[in-house]
Amino acid sequence: MLKSVNLRGMTPLIQSVEHGNYSVFRFLFEIYVHIQRTAGKKYPILSETFTVQDKEKEETAMMKAVRLNRLEMVFSMMHMIGPDKPLNSVNFINQVDKSGRNILHLAVMGKQKDLIELFINKLDCDTQPLRRKKDCKSKVPQQYDESNQFSQLFVTKWDAAGSGANMKLQKMIDV
């Protein structure tokens, strides 16, 4: 049942995100986490579940949560990413919808400052796979920030250190 999909290609987890039902989302999420922890690498249900895309928009649960501004759901999923956690950042970095957009594109388009900052700092800090990804219009996420209100979020300490901008890096560290 947990990996089943309906006619629209949606898993129960994706459906809970679409309908904004956090209690169902959290219940399903906890079941996935429990199965993953008890079965280990033999049954990677979490990574498999988080790569399923619906048929209509070709969105994963994370992408749908970002687009629909379901912050609690996004933060719950992001909390499970890390070296000693069940999810790997690759589960989210390589995902794109039918327009070729990733979660950072969607966060910028939705003007979601907290998510932009979270994604850049947790998933994209050094190699920039999210910031460099072009969509079907050949636009990177920052190009959707038409008012430049998030431009400072797109520059990280890693960028300043890599470019040799020591003064800028010092200011970023002192803040």
Q: Is the pLDDT of residue 158 over 70?
A: no
* Strand segments (E) across the chain: none
User: What is the rounded CA–CA span in Å between residue 5 and residue 13?
Assistant: 10
Angstrom distances, CA of residue 76 to CA of 27, 34, 39, 42, 61? 12, 14, 21, 24, 12
**pLDDT confidence of 148, banded at 50, 70, 90?**
very high
**pLDDT confidence of 49, banded at 50, 70, 90?**
confident
Angstrom distances, CA of residue 72 to CA of 17, 19, 26, 104? 10, 13, 10, 17
Report H helices in 9-165. Answer: 12-18, 22-39, 45-49, 61-67, 71-79, 90-93, 103-109, 113-123, 129-132, 157-163
* pLDDT tens per residue, range 71-99: 999 999 998 887 777 777 887 888 999 99
**What pLDDT shows up at residue 174?**
57
**pLDDT confidence of 113, banded at 50, 70, 90?**
very high
Return the CATH number of the domain spanning residue range 12-147: 1.25.40.20
Q: Which residue's structure tokens are 């636009």? A: 139
The tokens of 142 are what? Answer: 């920052």
